[in-house]
Amino acid sequence: MANEQHISQLYPGFKASQVDWKDHNGLFLVSNSSVFAFGFFGYETPQIYWSTNVSKKVHSASLVSNSWDFYDQNGDLLWKSVFTEKSNDPKAMFAAILEPNGVISFYDLNKGKSVTPETMRIPQDPCGIPEPCDPYYVCFFENWCECPKLLKSRFNCKLPNTSLCSRTPKELIYVGEKLDYFALKYVQPVSKSNLSACRDECLRNCSCRVLFFENSTGKCFHFDQTGSFQRYKGSSGGYVSYMKVSIEDNGDGRNGRNNATLVVVAIVMLTILVIVGLVMGFWYYKKKYYFLENSAETLEEDDFLDNFPGMPTRFRYSILSKATKSFSSKIGEGGFGSVYLGVLEDGTQLAVKKLEGLGQGTKEFKAEVSSIGSIHHVHLVKLKGFCAEGPHRLLVYEYMGREKSDVYSFGMVLLEIIGGRRNYDQWEGSEKAHFPSYAFRMMEEGKLKQVLDPKIDIDESDERAVTAIKVALWCVQDDMNSRPSMTKVVQMLEGVCPAPDPPSSATSSTFGSYAAFLKMSSGEASSSGQASFYSNVPMSCVQLSGPR
């Protein structure tokens, strides 16, 4: 027993009718005044966090074989909890242990160790105890703790210890929605009204530190002290929560006027730094321009660029300026410059990257051109040329169309419309956070109802809904080559040809599985199947549908 950290022990055969005590640390209360329950006694007002929830009073309990049984005065079974597999040892003896965090675990007295698995504890939810996280933090399903955004930004997650009944003005700050709290199922609401009335009641009640409001029922709950919040487990519902603080409190309890002064000082200092930075930047630019105009350096650079083996084509600045119509067609930005669309006299389309504000000297530009120009890969955009003329530094790449990225974006938008939610939402829980992955899994399990927006009045067996989901999942394939063309997307949505089942979530990131599918469905080589699917030529229904 020396290795087991616990507060109190409930051995076999104890009389529950006489139980009404606190553990020796004074934090947890075990009571049988109405129903057998465990409560947290560390707050000014004790809060119940677990109960047998039976109508009759518990008279006795026993730890026999593999279960914890509670009986009334007549010996009738009121409540039962199975905590391990049935033991064949007739001498097996167990003890129920109230641990320091409030969890009730079970201990094998003969083996001298806790019963496994540890999930067979009371309560089983790791977030269902008073303080699995710090007070006011939100405990998620995997016992992961997170500070609410407003508390983090305003108080650094440390709520000031302000008296609720002082005369200083108070305000309610928003904690979050879809929340839960362990004690809510065991207390009565202070009222049933609307959120505005619930907030007003909390502001008037000096014993109200935190309020919870349930929109569906109008129930309003007040607490003078709380532990960790919980993330609501249901797909919809939960509680909205607000916390009362002093208006003068503004992060670590400092006065609002002092903070306002600090903000003014910070703005003045930032303005000075910006002005100094602009002056230094202008001086640096003039200095850089001077050195780039230096004739000796320009001759040395020209000699290197003209004689370097394997160097791509060198363009004159005037040619690129004409091809891009004086750099008027901007198609992108980033990576130390802007990218413009250009067309040479022979009709070749180019993507011209104009390096800006890089502070790049001769040596750096030499290294960049020589390294990029020597790289040739099927999945990388090829460097076709460059321009190094006076202060101008430009890189010329082959132009790559974005049709497949448009298909991906269309699929994402279509999924959002079908599901009525964003494609990534961390508040949906780990299983549903990434909506495309969740939609893949639900389709494989035949649960399309879970994918559809509940606000849409449509049955999951409706062929239009099934087709739309399949098309969306085809469009968001990780492999660009696995996505259909927009022409094929329109054909599937209009019912010209049926939409095949997309690859499973385990194989959707590779093109090989889909190439094999095309080969089986058309009887042709994978290369011809691929061209048939992604071209704009109408496809036969047999080719598109394939094996299910």
Pick out the residues of the known binding site for ATP: 354
Report d(CA 148, CA 230) in Å as an integer. 11
Task: Please check whether residue 17 is in contact with residue 32, taking contact to mean a CB–CB distance below 8 angstroms.
Answer: yes
Cα end-to-end span (Å), the chain: 59
- 329 CB-near residues (< 8 Å, 6+ apart): 340, 341, 342
70: β partners? 61, 79
Instruction: Tell me which residue of 456, 462, 447, 444 sits closest to 416, measured CA to CA.
Output: 456
What 8-state DSSP symbol labels residue 122?
A: B
Number of H helices, E strands in the chain: 13, 25
Task: Indicate the annotated binding residues.
Answer: 354
Q: Which residues have CB under 8 Å from 277's CB, separation 6+? A: none
Is the bond preceding residue 123 a cis peptide, omega within 30 degrees?
yes
Size of the chain in residues? 548
The dihedral of CA 491, 492, 496, 499: what is its sign? positive
How many CA atoms lie within 13 Å of 91's alpha carbon, on the beta-carbon side? 3
Q: How far is the C-alpha of 132 from the C-alpha of 187, rounded, in Å? A: 20
Q: What angle do CA 361, 362, 365 make, to 5 degrees?
A: 85
Question: Cα separation of 61 and 73, whole Å?
Answer: 11
Triad 94, 98, 99: Cα angle to 5°: 115
Judged by DSSP in three states, 269 sits in helix
CA distance 503 to 512: 11
The one-letter amino acid at 60:
S
CA neighbor of 412 nearest in space, from 427, 426, 403, 422: 422
